[in-house]
Amino acid sequence: MAEYVCNYALLRFLPYRDAGEFINIGIALACGPLGFLDFRIEMQRWARVSHFFPELEISTYRAGVHALCEECNRWKAATGRLAAQPPDKRETILRHIFGELTRPREALFHFGPPRTILSHAPGDTLDALFGNYVRRRFVTESLHGEEILRRQIADSLRTFSLDRFYKPARVGTPDYHVLLPFVAPEASAHEVKEPVLPVLKQPPLKAIKPLDLDRREPSEITQYGDEWLARVRRLRALEQQPREWLFVIRAPHTTPRAQHATDAIRRELEHQQVLTTTFDDTSSLIKFAHLHPNKILLPVDDNPSN
């Protein structure tokens, strides 16, 4: 399936220019080769604005958004009349329209700098970008997905009576540490310097981390995977990484490109001496979680003390 170069820009609401605080409320995307121009503007979740700028009159904001939608629809209608133009001329005119639309302005509503993305379906890409940048769907999906994985792992450990050895802990140093949900330390003594969870005195024997990569766009998979790769590398540089580390991954079932992005993250993790498995491979999880009989390991204390 052919991919086309698309340009997009985030629509921002910036009521106080001197303060520089803004929120993303919409997005515009143009695809010159297809003569495509469309918008998505948040018209439902008004509370986002009220919470971020509580001193503003929400009715004034709503009126501004509705006026902006009318203007965007006029631009879209003008683009629709380009269908009869030759492809080269249509693309040139559309580029001019998008450039004028996203021209820097000192206004409450304005578009940010244009960005570029490849897409075989501009409408679907527009929806995905809107969900990512405006509705922050990537955060909700990540937390929800990884919470499901965490519970599945906890159930498996409990079934095989291994849960008492694995508890949440902060791995690293007092200055840099990573919260992991399943950690088996060398001993039950913790360094009590955190108000909720301890930072371990030494690298743990084992750790298990759920990683939800079930995203639609390959770029989302790569970005989130890179975040955890950066944490892994930092702990290795500090010589604080778990002696054995397993990432339980939920992979996407969307496109070959998404699967390739997931495979690349897995290879990078394994290059950092991190084991990986899939969320449905319970046997590999339990095999990893079992403790070597020669290792002296006490159950993790839920209420550590000096």
pLDDT by residue (tens digit) across 4-23? 889 999 999 988 877 777 88
Cα angle, residue 162 at apex, residues 282 and 197 outer, rounded to 5°: 110
Average pLDDT over residues 272-282: 92
pLDDT tens-digit readout, 209-245: 999 998 878 888 998 999 999 999 999 999 999 999 9
Average pLDDT over residues 287-295: 75
pLDDT band at 292 (very low <50, low <70, confident <90, very high): low
CA distances from 108 to 60, 64, 214 (A): 11, 9, 36
Structural contact between residues 279 and 250, judged by C-beta atoms closer than 8 angstroms: yes
CA distances from 106 to 4, 13, 15, 133, 138 (A): 32, 11, 10, 22, 30
Burial of residue 66 (number of CB atoms within 10 Å: 0-12, 13-18, 19+):
exposed
Entry pTM? 0.51
Average pLDDT over residues 79-86: 76
Task: Write down the pLDDT at residue 166.
Answer: 92
Structural fold of domain 138-289: Trna Endonuclease; Chain: A, domain 1 (3.40.1350)
pLDDT at 296 over 60: no
135/42 Cα distance (integer angstroms): 8
Longest dimension (CA), the chain: 78
pLDDT at 31 over 60: yes
Structural contact between residues 165 and 153, judged by C-beta atoms closer than 8 angstroms: no
79/31 Cα distance (integer angstroms): 11
Average pLDDT over residues 79-95: 81
Mean of per-residue pLDDT scores for the chain = 83
Q: Where are the domains of the chain?
A: 4-135, 138-289
**Dihedrals phi, psi of 134, to nearest 5 degrees:** -100, -55
Task: Write down the pLDDT at residue 175.
Answer: 86
pLDDT at 264 over 80: yes
Structural contact between residues 65 and 43, judged by C-beta atoms closer than 8 angstroms: yes
Helix boundaries (H) for the chain = 47-52, 58-80, 87-101, 122-133, 137-159, 218-237, 256-271, 282-289
Question: Which residues, in sequence order, are bridge partners of residue 39?
Answer: 28
- Chain position carrying tokens 């997931």: 262
